[in-house]
Amino acid sequence: MLSVTNISKTFGTVKALNNVSFDVHDGEIMGLIGQNGAGKSTTFHSILNFLSFDGQITWNGQPLSASDYDQIGYLPEERSLMPKLTITQQIVYLARLKNQPANVTKSKIASWMKRFAVKGQPNDRIKNLSKGNQQKVQLICTLIHDPQLIILDEPFSGLDPVNADLLKAAIIDAKKRGATIIFSSHDMSNVEEVCDSLVMLRNGQVVLNGTIDGVREQFGRTRLFLTTDWSADRLAALPGVIDVKPLGTERYQLRLADATAGEAIFDQVTAGHYIREFSQQPPTLDEIFRTEAGGPQHE
C-alpha cells in the first residue's frame, strides 16, 4: 500500500501542495484529477523522489528504498524516448535502469508489442515510428518489468479509442496481479470506467477523496432521467426542478435543487401509470469536475 501523508511543497511563493494525504491499496486503481497546475505532477514527482517535500510517503509502512523504486513503473506526461535507438534497445535500456536482465526483457518484447498492436519490428528505430506507436513503446517501457506501483501521468493523451482500450486492459490486468496504480486524466469517462477511487486536487489541496460511487453520492441524486409525453416547459414548472435538458424524443434530463424532490415528481409525472424510464442519479464525474475543480490555479 502507498500512503501519502501531509505532504507539502513550495516553489518560491507558490504553495504547490498543501498537506496532501491519501492511501492507495494493493490491487486498487486511483484517479488523481484536477485542473492543470492543481498539483498532480508535483504529487507524482514527490512519490518518485524527484524533488524534496515536507511530509511522509511510505510503501507498505516503510519509506521507499532503492529496491522499491525498481518496482515502480512511471509514464511521464512529457514522453521521452531516444529516437536513434531501436525499439529493443530503448526498452532494454530503460529496463536495465530497473535492474532487469537484458535477456529477460528481450524475451518479453514481442508479446508486449503484439499486446499493444505496435506497428513495427523490434529492430525498427524509434524515429521511424508514428507518434502513436512511439507512445505505445513508452507504455511498454513502463509496464514490461511488472511493477508493483504504477504511476501514469495522462496516459490516454493522444490515444484513439481503440488504443485507449488496449491500455485500459493492461491497467486492469496489472490490478488483477495486485499492483497499486495511480493515473491522472482530464477525461472523466476514463476515470469513471477504470478507477476504484479518486482524489481531486485544487490549488494543491485535496478537495475530494473516496470511491467513485461514494464521491458521486456526496452530491446527491439530483439528476433525473425520464421518458414522458410531458413538455419541457411543463416539467420545468415542477417544484424542485432547476432546469430541463431534452435528450431525444420525449426523453429529458432534469436537474433538481434537492434529491428529495424526486418522489413528488414521480407521483405527478406517472399519475399511477407506467412510464418507460424514471432514473434518479447523482451527477457524473464530469459534472463534478466542472464544479469542484475550478478556481485560480498555479502554473
pLDDT tens-place string over residues 161-176:
999 999 999 999 999 9
Residues 224 and 200 in one domain: no
pTM value is 0.89
DSSP H/E element including 284:
none
Of 170, 236, 201, whose CA–CA distance to 29 is shortest? 170
Do 166 and 62 sit in the same domain of this protein? yes
- Please, which residues have CB within 8 angstroms of residue 30's CB and are 6 or more apart in sequence? 22, 24, 181, 182, 183, 195, 196, 197, 198, 199
List pLDDT tens digits, range 28-48: 999 999 999 999 999 999 999
Q: What is the pLDDT at residue 20?
A: 98
Residues 225 and 120 in one domain: no
Give the per-residue pLDDT at 54.
97
Which strands make up the sheet holding 54-59, listed edge to edge? 14-24, 2-11, 54-59, 62-63
Residues 193 and 240 in one domain: no
The reply to whether 34 falls in a domain is yes
pLDDT at 142: 96
Does residue 152 share a domain with residue 26? yes
CA distances to 1, 70, 77, 84, 91 from 95, rounded to whole Å, are 23, 9, 19, 17, 6
Report yes or no on 297 lying in a domain: no
What's the pLDDT band for 295 if we cut at 50, 70, 90? low
Among candidate residues 199, 217, 235, the one where a domain is terminated: 217
Q: Which domain holds residue 225?
A: 220-281
Please check whether residues 244 and 126 belong to one and the same domain.
no
Q: What is the CATH number of the domain that holds 229?
A: 3.30.70
C-alpha distances in Å from residue 71, one per residue of 49, 68, 79: 14, 5, 20
User: What DSSP state is assigned to residue 85?
Assistant: S
In this prediction, what percent of the chain has a pLDDT beyond 90?
A: 91
Is 291 within the bounds of a domain? no
Does the pLDDT value for residue 113 go beyond 90?
yes
Dist. CA 299–CA 45, nearest whole Å: 16
Residue 24 pLDDT = 98
